[in-house]
Amino acid sequence: MRVGVIGGGQLAWMMAPEAAKLGISLLVQTPSMEDPAAAVAETVLAPLRDAKATAELADRCDAITFENEFVDLEALGELEKQGVVFAPSLSVLAPLLDKYHQRCYLRDIGLPVPEFISWEGDEDAAFLGKWPLVVKARRHGYDGQGTEVVHNMAELMAVWQRWGRVPVLLEEFIPFERELAVMAARRRGGEIAIYPVVETQQENQVCRRVLVPAAIDPKVAAQCETIARRILQPQSGPAVVGIFGIELFLTAQGQLLVNEIAPRTHNSGHFTIDACEISQFQMQLRAVCDLPLGQTTLKSPGAVMVNLLGYEHSRSDYRTKREQIAAIPGAHVHWYGKAESRPGRKLGHVTVQLAAPELAGDIARKVEYIWYPAPES
């Protein structure tokens, strides 16, 4: 079978070796030969929103899946009418790509979400008295881009002006106890697979580390699984074919709120490559190709995943630091081969398998001590 991927970043790059294990040919549509996946898969070189290029991709594939959400649904719809198979389907993607529409959809299928509105500069909106608030770009936000916490009207207006005075998602600030995430997949035949719930830790709105499994009450983990099943197979509307990353807030009172969902593989699931029987990337391919999904169990009692984020503008490959991190017992370093580093950019990640989940914090600090330069005194 031949599977096309719209997007050629590190997610498609990590999918390539999993495709080879399954005997699947992988093709990617991506705008630059410097993109990570271009080195490991057949490539249609074109912008992601180029529908003619996607038609070429479709001619060479049995099904098309996604690495990101930067797509033109209207243009892809014409291809779907001609018989091109997308997984997830475009009807599944439609309510998810705009963050406001996604939040409305989650609310409408009965899931708990933070209070929210769509905001277009109305200074009289009653919602505005509940500072602080979180303001999010409705499209194309990722890795901390397009998310700001604002504490008063002046800060909100400044963000809105900077973003071009376009409609934004405005939501209540949740003083969460933990941020959680769960990866969940569904194949066309209806089988569902759910990975262990993890805790994600963010800095400057970017994920720094993932602790596996999350140190939470089993009842909370079961609630996360129930939410995942509701998203993959809602009571009304189309069911999912593919894999979703689901982000949640856990409050001090034990309440779960769905923050966001990504209709693809997700940073919070990178640990699965080394720490689980089947990785999230192989799981996505199995779901798309309607193969048995297999096991999501951990291969060790615990694990920690640490993102290797850029902290400077550079074209270094940081080989010495990577070798030092790789020397940590149980460590698996994944370097994405990006040509340029810049602050906050995801350059790679390391997963360390653990004899006990309680070791995660110490190991994460050890990785970060090696990777990041010492702060100036």
pLDDT tens string for the chain (377 positions)?
999 999 999 999 999 999 999 999 999 999 999 999 999 999 999 999 999 999 999 999 999 999 998 899 999 999 999 999 999 999 999 999 999 999 999 999 999 999 999 999 887 777 777 899 999 999 876 665 789 999 999 999 999 999 999 999 999 999 999 999 999 999 998 999 999 999 999 988 889 999 999 999 999 999 999 999 999 988 777 789 999 999 999 999 999 999 999 999 999 999 999 999 999 999 999 999 999 999 999 999 999 999 999 999 999 999 999 999 999 999 999 999 998 999 999 999 999 999 999 999 999 999 999 999 987 65
Distance (Å) of CA 236 to CA 8, 164, 293, 303: 33, 36, 24, 37
Amino acid at 202: Q
Per the CB < 8 A criterion, the answer to whether 200 and 262 are in contact is no
Q: Is residue 376 part of a domain?
A: no
Q: Is residue 107 part of a domain?
A: no
CA 319 from centre of chain: 26
Q: What CATH number corresponds to the domain at position 30?
A: 3.40.50.20
Binding site listing for ATP: 99, 136, 171-174, 179, 259-260
Given this model, what pLDDT does residue 130 score? 85
199 plus 323 within the same structural domain = yes
70 plus 151 within the same structural domain = no
Distance (Å) of CA 267 to CA 5, 115, 166, 200: 17, 25, 28, 10
203 plus 160 within the same structural domain = no
**Three-class SS state of 73:** helix
Work out whether strand 42-45 and strand 25-30 pair parallel, antiparallel, or are unpaired.
parallel
**Three-class SS state of 28:** strand
138 plus 240 within the same structural domain = no
pTM beyond cutoff 0.85: yes
Q: Is residue 108 part of a domain?
A: no
Number of domains in the chain: 3
Compute the half-sphere exposure of residue 230: CA atoms within 13 Å on the CB side of its CA. 17
The whole domain housing 351 covers: 178-371
Q: What CATH number corresponds to the domain at position 155?
A: 3.30.1490.20
Question: What stretches of the chain show up as alpha helix (H) in DSSP?
Answer: 10-22, 51-59, 73-81, 90-93, 99-108, 153-162, 218-232, 272-275, 280-288, 319-326, 360-371
Secondary structure string (H, E, C) spanning 216-235: CCHHHHHHHHHHHHHHHCCC
166 plus 243 within the same structural domain = no
78 plus 149 within the same structural domain = no
Q: Is residue 350 part of a domain?
A: yes
Per the CB < 8 A criterion, the answer to whether 197 and 180 are in contact is yes
131 plus 240 within the same structural domain = no
149 plus 296 within the same structural domain = no
Amino acid at 203: E
> Which residues have C-beta within 8 Å of that of residue 109, sequence separation ≥ 6?
230, 231, 234, 235, 236, 237
**What is the Cα Rg of the chain in Å?**
20
Q: Is residue 46 part of a domain?
A: yes
231 plus 258 within the same structural domain = yes
211 plus 311 within the same structural domain = yes
Which of 172, 191, 212 is a domain's end point?
A: 172
Q: Which two tokens stand for residue 10?
A: 């590190």
Q: Is residue 321 part of a domain?
A: yes
Q: Which two tokens stand for residue 86?
A: 């997308």
Q: Is residue 99 part of a domain?
A: no
197 plus 346 within the same structural domain = yes
Which of 130, 146, 172 is a domain's end point?
A: 172
Q: Which two tokens stand for residue 38?
A: 């271009």
Beta strands per DSSP E along the chain: 2-6, 25-30, 42-45, 63-66, 116-119, 133-137, 147-150, 168-172, 178-186, 192-194, 198-203, 206-212, 242-250, 256-262, 302-309, 331-335, 346-354
Which of 138, 154, 172 is a domain's end point?
A: 172
366 plus 225 within the same structural domain = yes
Which one, of 260, 220, 222, lies nearest residue 244 by Cα? 260
Q: Is residue 205 part of a domain?
A: yes
Q: Distance between CA 361 and CA 129 in Å, rounded?
A: 37
